[in-house]
């Protein structure tokens, strides 16, 4: 009984503690206060979750490589930060949740149920904020209880696939709407891609036909109700057609960040140990570029090995008819190409246990 309460309360706390952002000044993704308070709540939530679920008795190769990468990379950032300073602390969100690599996933559906109920509460919150004409982000993006459009976008995908798996189709439609209203382009495109790949061949043709007919209507809907996402999509189409990222920061900023890789390979020390431009944590999108330029090629190779072991372990090539956790993982791995979404709290609360859940499902089957 006590462990069950610890599971639920720990998950509720982890999923909703960023609602405290509404009590502080918040501008362009940065909060003016409450950092220590939120850190204490994060630590408490992790302790409760670990106590409630417990650990696996056996460590797999995938889990060992995960602990190796996140342990060594964290040690590097802690040590180097003494000399270069700690320019960004978002990576601590991953460090705090790394113990979940070893968590016992036999009760992971508790996380799913708590998440599903929390998501419904977040939708009510967003409805209230629309009525009150108040939003943390200037573009009025939906962020639920997570504080960030991209992180809310990826968990919206998880919500949709849970709803579909449980045949709660109305909730699936509402989840897709919330995904659109995050106004985050890449989670939306990733969802389209994964939904298409997971469909049966007969349905793929029907989806293509429906899309070709309904795209003008859908774009009109976006222009009216999600202008920010509409402009991003139009900018992406222009970029793909002529290579110009005019007035599209979501692409131009990523292209500028990608240039840090070329600078990295001009300095041997940066190549092997990261720290491009003398910065402790070279944060930006994507997760892969962030890790390559922050940790160097050796640790980055360990991270790539970790991703490959995940893909093999979850049998990613068998994409149809799988669990919601599987589709969430595939969506998240796609998103890592363009976003550093692992750094956002509490994405790893889903990421690490979901990996173990899907791998266990494959082993059992």
Residue range 287-325, pLDDT digits in tens: 999 999 999 999 999 999 999 999 999 998 888 888 999
Nearest to 331 by CA among 343, 319, 349: 319
Structure-model confidence comparison of residues 355 and 105, the more confident one? 355
CA 145, 149, 151, 156 torsion-angle sign: positive
- How far apart, in Å, are the Cα atoms of 47 and each of 54, 68, 189? 10, 21, 35
The CA distance from 15 to 196, in Å, is 29
Task: Read off φ and ψ for residue 314, nearest 5 degrees.
Answer: -90, 0
Check whether 262 has a pLDDT greater than 60: yes
| pLDDT 10s digits, 326-348 | 999 999 999 999 999 999 999 99
DSSP code, position 345: T
Say what the pTM is.
Answer: 0.90
Arithmetic mean of pLDDT over the chain: 87
pLDDT at 82: 92
Q: What per-residue confidence (pLDDT) applies to 105?
A: 79
Angle, CA 240 vertex, CA 239 and CA 243 arms, to 5°: 50
Say how many domains are in the chain. 1
Q: Residue 284 is part of which domain span?
A: 2-364
As given in the structure block, the two tokens for residue 349 are 């609360």
């Amino acid at each position: 009984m006590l462990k069950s309460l610890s599971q639920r309360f720990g998950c509720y706390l982890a999923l909703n503690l960023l609602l405290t952002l509404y009590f502080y000044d918040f501008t362009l993704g940065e909060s003016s206060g409450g950092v220590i308070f939120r850190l204490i709540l994060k630590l408490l939530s992790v302790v409760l979750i670990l106590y409630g679920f417990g650990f696996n008795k056996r460590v797999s190769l995938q889990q060992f490589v995960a602990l190796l990468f996140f342990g060594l990379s964290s040690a590097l950032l802690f040590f180097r930060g003494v000399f270069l300073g700690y320019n960004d602390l978002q990576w601590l969100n991953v460090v705090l949740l790394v113990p979940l690599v070893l968590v016992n996933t036999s009760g992971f559906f508790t996380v799913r149920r708590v998440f599903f109920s929390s998501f419904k509460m977040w939708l009510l919150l967003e409805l209230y904020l629309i009525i009150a004409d108040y939003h943390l982000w200037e573009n009025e993006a939906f962020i639920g209880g997570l504080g960030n459009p991209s992180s809310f976008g990826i968990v919206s995908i998880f919500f949709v696939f849970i709803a579909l798996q449980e045949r709660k189709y109305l909730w699936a439609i509402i989840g897709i709407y919330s995904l659109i209203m995050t106004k985050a382009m890449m989670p939306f495109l990733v969802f389209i891609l994964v939904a298409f790949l997971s469909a049966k061949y007969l349905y793929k043709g029907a989806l293509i036909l429906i899309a070709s007919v309904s795209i003008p209507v859908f774009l009109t809907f976006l222009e009216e109700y999600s202008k920010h996402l509409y402009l991003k999509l139009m900018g992406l189409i222009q970029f793909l057609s002529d290579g110009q990222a005019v007035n599209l920061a979501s692409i131009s900023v990523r292209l500028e960040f990608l240039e840090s890789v070329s600078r990295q390979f001009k300095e041997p020390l940066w190549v092997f140990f990261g720290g491009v431009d003398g910065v402790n944590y070279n944060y930006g999108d994507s997760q892969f570029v962030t890790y390559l330029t922050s940790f160097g090629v050796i640790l980055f190779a360990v991270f790539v090995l970790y991703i490959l072991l995940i893909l093999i372990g979850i049998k990613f090539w068998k994409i149809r008819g799988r669990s919601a956790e599987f589709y969430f993982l595939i969506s998240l791995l796609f998103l890592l190409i363009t976003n550093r979404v692992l750094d956002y709290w509490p994405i790893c609360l889903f990421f690490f246990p979901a990996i173990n859940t899907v791998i266990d499902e494959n082993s059992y089957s």
